[in-house]
Every structure is written in C-alpha cells, then in structure tokens.
Structure 1
Amino acid sequence: MFSYRHAFHAGNHADVLKHITLIATLRHLMRKDAGLTLVDTHAGAGLYRLDGDHSRTGGEADDGVLRLMSVLRPGNGAPLTAPEAVEDYLDLIAAFNPDGRLRIYPGSPFVMHHLMRATSRDRLKLFELHPTDGRTLSGNVAQLEAGRQIAVLRQDGFEGLKPLLPPPPSATGSRRALVLIDPSYELKTDYAQVTACIEDSLRRFATGTYLVWYPIIPRPQAHELPKRLRSLANQARKPWLHATLSIGQAPGSPAQPGHAGLRASGMFVINPPHTLKASLQAALPVLLQHLGRGRGQGQTLETGGGG
C-alpha cells in the first residue's frame, strides 16, 4: 500500500497537466474576495528535488517541466511566448527556483499555498497517509510558518474529506471549496474510491469545485473512471470538463502499464470555472507541441453537463 512515491514522478507530463489545470482554476476562483477551503486528498511530500536520486532514477521530469522550461524559458535566449495558463505555470515554478536553476518542484500543496490569500482567510487541508511522505510534508509545511492556514492530517483523504464538506462559511457568509483528488491508483480499488468520494461530495456540497487526476493506462478501471465521473456530474446537473494529454511512446521504448513509462493522463473537473475551457484550449496544443515524443501522442478537451 505504501510503495508509491511521487518523488519518482515529480514534474512529469502528468504533473504539468495537473498543475496547469489547478492553477488556472484557482486563478479564477480567487477573483472573488470570499475565502476558499482547499483540500488535497493525497498530498505527497509537498516539495521535490529534481536533482535528487528519486527524480533522476526515472528521469520523468525530462519529458515534462524540464523540457517545457528549456524550450519556453531558455537560459541563453529570449523566452518564447506561450498561452497565459502555461506562462502562469512556468512563473510559479520559477518562483521556487530564484537562482534560475530548476532543482525544486512544488507539488500540489505548495502550488495551492503559493496562490492562497491571507486577507481572504483561505484554508488548506492536506491529507497524506504514507509515513515517509507524511513526515516530509509536515516538515516542509512547518517552514512556511503558516499557522492555522494549513493543516496536515495523517489520515485517509477519502474519509477525511467528508467532515470538511460543506465547508465553513467565509466572512461574507458564502461557502466555497476546491478539492483535488489525485491518488496514486497503485491499488485498483482507488478508482472505485474516487467515484464513491465524488458521489458523496456532490451530495454533501454540490457547488464545490472538484478536480480529479487519473492515469490513462490499459486497465479497465482507468478507462471507466471518466465515464463514471461524467455520469455523476450529469445526474447532479453540474457542469464538467475533461482534458487529456498523451505525449506518446518514446521511440524504442516498450509499452509499460502503470506509472513507469506513463504516457498519458487526464483531468476531470466538476463545476469548472467558465474560463477554464478557453485556458486549456490554448494550453494543450502547446504542451503537445513541446512534450509530444512519438506514436500515440494527442490531446482532447470536452465539456458538458449543467442544469
């Protein structure tokens, strides 16, 4: 159960898609002054070294953030123009590497914290069960000295989310929440738990914004997950957005299931901001242009639902 470590995959193409979607969503939600409750059900360690042993073992960041940064933000040339969502992502990554050397990659907890507003009393709840990653996450968060703004909880995020919904009202009385659900899918049961979690969350707080990341791999559960999420959103009469990115198979590499050799992933968003579709429509072709590497590459974007 505890064998998966995101440090081996930090900054890969799946992280690029996930974090561009997360940042673009948060930017829109934070246009309103009312506070937000932010939840990451599977937070990981929070910060990752791209020059460390874990990252270099798989070299997955080479086909993700490292390639994107080298092309769009070359150290010895003028930066290339990119869509706003991509620029925003690269700016955020650069903020964690002020010396210009890309060595630190922020996971979702630190992406969210970077965008949080103290004046609006945003709150961040982080769940992580892995004993090593949980300790590392607690240590990384402690350095922020964020006080009650961030809570790290050593419990199952699927269960821990339930009492957080609906979220407490903000100072203006409104209730707003963004939930990121991104388990490792190391266990086949994760797929069913994601579906059950979304179904329960929509029942508890139908107006929350829910982001689900998933790997696109040759497994029936992975194929069915976006279909089940689409059905749940449609039944609840809520709008949804589904984006996928496949960088294709590297020439000469064997097809491998799971995260080792992962070539594609998806983001399913329920109650997305109305600006997210346009942001990803502009960003996805650019990601594919620079990260695509062989047979099977492609990207999709579809929306639907609503009352």
Structure 2
Amino acid sequence: MNYRHSFHAGNSADVVKHSLLIALVRALQQKPGALTLIDTHAGCGLYDLGGADAGRTGEALQGVLRAFADANPVLDDYRAAVQAVNVGAEPHFYPGSPRILAQLLRPQDFLILNEKHPEDAYTLRGVMRGTSAAVHERDAYELWLALLPPRTARGVVLVDPPFEQTDERDRITATLAAAHRKWAHGVTVIWYPLKDRATHWQWREQVRKLGIPKLLRVEHWLYDSDQPGIYNGAGLYIVNPPYAFTQALPPLLEALRAALAPEGHQGEIITDWLGG
C-alpha cells in the first residue's frame, strides 16, 4: 500500500492518530519530568488541503472536516491543534505529527524528527524553522535504534511509515523487538493501515509473539464489514501507554467512531492488550 502522506493528509486515519497522540503526550506531561519525542517518519510537517495531491483524493472531507463539524467537546484538543495552523473557521492546512508535537512541547522537552526522502526533509526543515526541533535525514529504522535510550528518562517514539515497501511490517516487528530490549520502559506508537482483517491478523500474531508485557492495540474500522481492495481504517500499537491515557481513552474513541463513521455504517473500535 502506498501511503505518501500528501495524498491523504487530514483523512480519518490522521484524525484518529493525532487525537490519540495528543492525549498520550498530555497524559505523560502530567508529570514534570522532561520528555524526548521522536518521529521516525516525519513527512513534510504541513499539508495544503487545497493542493493538487490532497485535492486528488478529497479524503479530508471524510476526516478532519467531519471532526470540525462534530460538536463533541472530547475532540476539542484535536481541533485546536489543527486550528493553530489555520486562519478562519474551516481548515485549509493540515499539521502533520511534527507540527502537532511541536505545539505540545514544554521548555524541558525535546523533539527529534526524521525524514529520509530528501525533498520532504528539505520542506520539513522549512516548516519547522523557528521551533526547537532537530531534523535528521536517515533510514527510519536505523535512527529509531540509534537514538535509544534517549537523553531523558521518559519519551515517545512515533513510527508512522508510508508502507511503500513489502517488508515494512517485518522491519517494524524486528526493530520494535530490538528497541524494547534497549529501552523497555519507553513509550512507542506504531501506526498502520487496515485493508483486510485476515492479513492484519497474521501481523498481529507476529507482534504478539514478541512478548512485550504492556502493548495496547487500538484499531478504527470505518465500515461494518471489510470493503475489498480499499482502505478500511487504521490502527495503532502503543507500548507502555500511561494509566492516565488508557483511563481517558474510551470516551475519546467513541467520539472518533461517531464522528468518522461513513454514511450507512456504524464503524468499529477494537482495543485489547497483546502483552506477553
């Protein structure tokens, strides 16, 4: 599956991913200790929803624009993060994870971004100018391991690949196993697309067999049954989510399901622990 982000910015997967990411970081920030936030596949950092790429798919109509049309206050933090890069009531630009994480930084926190594609890395540096973020241009999986453990005791690694390579899931699984050995108490968030349940079930079992003790699976399925050959939703594996985050998760997930359900479908949220 090709998931070059400029074509899909602001879609339903972004709404879910960024809503949960904001809640996760804020839960960790309930303690005053510094955090290191690492984004391994940072992309361009900011996307024009009226541009040629996003306009070709129109996926923001079923994602961020639905979230903005929804009145549920549980989604206020997400809407505020998007509004921060816009002027006016309706979003014309969409912040990628780098810009959202930069908004969340406290003075004691650190933000490290990585983007392998040279053109996107160049754009990212421009988008992040004026922030404290460090930007790297390396292989994401090598950087993931090289930066662990980070300089601070606590932190988050966000892994959000484009899934352009056939071995993407295998590289994620192998790197996650090695990363957990280096930084067992660290928080890791891995995003993935959902196309059909059978294929994903195989990968889920591979991840389960890693035996990581505290590994939460959250999946957002858009449709009430698999829609063959199309995008069906997205999921997150979250290693070591803090208690404050998991306690606040049910109402957030229900708000996301209700806001993003396509016409004629209820949608489905699945959460469970894959721990060893």
Look up the equivalent residue of 1:222 and give its one-letter code: H
1:205 is aligned to: 183
Q: Paired residue for 1:182, among 160, 163, 172?
A: 160
**Larger Rg belongs to:** 1
Change (3 A) 1:204 1:221: farther
Query: What does residue range 39-58 of structure 1 map to in structure 2 within 5 Å?
Result: 39-58=38-57
With structure 2 as the length reference, what TM-score do the two structures score? 0.92
In the TM superposition, what is the alpha-carbon distance from 1:25 to its structure 2 partner? 0.5
Please tell me the root mean square deviation across aligned C-alpha atoms, in Å.
2.3
- 8 Å CA contact 2:15–2:67 kept in 1: the answer is no
1:159 paired residue number: 142
CA contact (8 A) 2:224 2:267 kept: yes
Q: Structure 1 stretch 203-212 or stretch 284-293: which is displaced more?
A: 284-293
1:81 aligns with 2:50: no
Code of the residue aligned with 1:81 in structure 2: it is N
Q: Which residue of 2 aligns with 1:129?
A: 116
Q: Output aligned runs, 1:1-307, within 5 Å.
A: 4-70=3-69, 72=70, 80-83=71-74, 86-118=75-107, 120=108, 122-142=109-129, 145-146=130-131, 149-169=132-152, 175-218=153-196, 222-232=200-210, 235-236=211-212, 238-248=213-223, 255=227, 257=229, 261-293=230-262, 294=264, 297-303=267-273, 305=275
Name the SS for the 1:161 alignment partner.
helix
In the TM superposition, what is the alpha-carbon distance from 1:185 to its structure 2 partner?
Answer: 1.1
CA distance in structure 2 between the partners assigned to 1:95 and 1:255 by the alignment: 35
Post-superposition offset of 1:296: 7.8
| Alpha-carbon shift at residue 298 of structure 1 (Å) | 1.4
Q: Distance in 2 between matches of 1:221 and 1:292?
A: 23
Gaps of 5+ in 2: none
**Number of equivalenced pairs:** 275
Asked whether the 8 Å contact 1:12–1:65 carries over to 2, the reply is yes
* TM-score (normalised: structure 1): 0.83
Please give the alpha-carbon distance, in whole angstroms, between the structure 2 residues aligned to 1:18 and 1:81. Answer: 17
Change (3 A) 1:46 1:60: same
Query: How far is 1:265 from its partner?
Result: 0.8
Q: Which amino acid aligns with 2:261?
A: G
Secondary structure, in 3 states, of the residue corresponding to 2:72?
coil
Q: Percent identity?
A: 36
Match in the other structure for 1:75: none
The equivalent residue for 1:77 is: none
- 1:272 deviates by 0.3
The DSSP-based 3-state class of the residue aligned with 2:243 is coil
Per-residue deviation at 1:244?
0.9
Q: What runs of 5+ residues in structure 1 fail to find an aligned partner?
A: 73-79, 170-174
- Asked whether the equivalents of residues 241 and 268 of structure 1 are also in contact (C-alpha less than 8 Å), the reply is yes
Counterpart residue identity of residue 150, structure 1:
A
1:30 Cα deviation after fit: 1.1
Give the secondary structure class of the aligned counterpart of 1:266: strand
Q: Secondary structure at the match of 2:209?
A: helix
